[in-house]
């Protein structure tokens, strides 16, 4: 019966080793969203001397209307990852073009609550992104197709002619395009 103590001790050591190697997520720029792990062993890192010009196509929403969409949280992760890599906040030029199924996230709290019976969980995330210098534009074509009035947009959001014109304009200005 000496096998049980050995197995127990081995299991305890595995748990201790896992706990010792675990680390907490960090949020260097967007404090409440998009937590990341420190990449202390990374050999490929962002260049802090570059100006990162990025336009992000945000088209997908989620079924759970009480939580921020993953596509928007991923923008927070992108901001935090670049900051962890040493890129100064002022070197991040990011524009979001929200359309399609993600367009419901742009409603102010009253309109969102009327439609989904919960407070809009995206508004605090939008505020943090905007505070970090992210420009957020909403496709007027998606708004019009869903009967979303411009006066019901969340604070600080802008209306664009379309996602298509936003993406092409910013790409021609040298912005890299991402799709979340």
Q: In terms of pLDDT, which residue wins out, 56 or 23?
A: 56
**59, 101 contact by CB (below 8 A):** yes
Instruction: Measure the CA–CA gap between 42 and 111, rounded to whole angstroms.
Output: 44
Question: How far is residue 146 CA from its own chain's centroid?
Answer: 23
Q: What pLDDT shows up at residue 2?
A: 63
Terminal Cα-to-Cα distance of the chain (whole angstroms): 56
Strand, coil or helix: what is 9? Answer: helix
What is the phi/psi pair of residue 100, to 5°? 55, -140
Q: What pLDDT shows up at residue 87?
A: 97
The 10s digit of each residue's pLDDT in 67-105 is: 999 999 999 999 999 999 999 999 999 999 999 999 999
**Residue 115 CA: distances (Å) to CA of 44, 118, 148:** 44, 8, 11
Scan for tokens 């050999």, then name that residue. 43
When pLDDT is cut at 50, 70 and 90, the band that residue 22 belongs to is low
When pLDDT is cut at 50, 70 and 90, the band that residue 7 belongs to is low
Scan for tokens 């995330």, then name that residue. 125
pTM here is 0.86
Q: Give mean pLDDT, residues 11-27.
A: 60
Domains in the chain and their CATH numbers?
A: 52-179 (3.40.1260.10)
User: What token pair was written down for 16?
Assistant: 């201790």
**Residue 20 CA: distances (Å) to CA of 26, 105, 119, 138:** 17, 39, 39, 45
């Amino acid at each position: 019966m000496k096998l049980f103590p050995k197995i127990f001790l081995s299991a305890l050591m595995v748990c201790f080793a896992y706990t010792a190697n675990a680390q907490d997520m960090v949020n260097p720029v967007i404090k409440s969203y998009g937590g990341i792990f420190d990449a202390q062993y990374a050999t490929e890192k962002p260049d802090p001397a570059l100006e990162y010009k990025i336009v992000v196509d945000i088209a997908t929403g989620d079924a759970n209307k009480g939580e921020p969409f993953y596509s928007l949280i991923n923008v927070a992760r992108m901001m935090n990852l670049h900051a962890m890599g040493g890129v100064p906040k002022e070197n991040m030029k990011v524009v979001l073009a929200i359309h399609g199924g993600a367009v419901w996230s742009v409603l102010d709290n009253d309109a969102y609550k009327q439609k989904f019976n919960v407070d809009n969980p995206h508004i605090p995330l939008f505020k943090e992104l905007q505070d970090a210098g992210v420009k957020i534009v909403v496709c007027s074509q998606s708004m019009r197709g869903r009967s979303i009035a411009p006066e019901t947009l969340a604070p600080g959001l802008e209306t664009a002619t379309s996602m298509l014109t936003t993406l092409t304009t910013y790409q021609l200005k040298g912005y890299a395009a991402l799709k979340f």
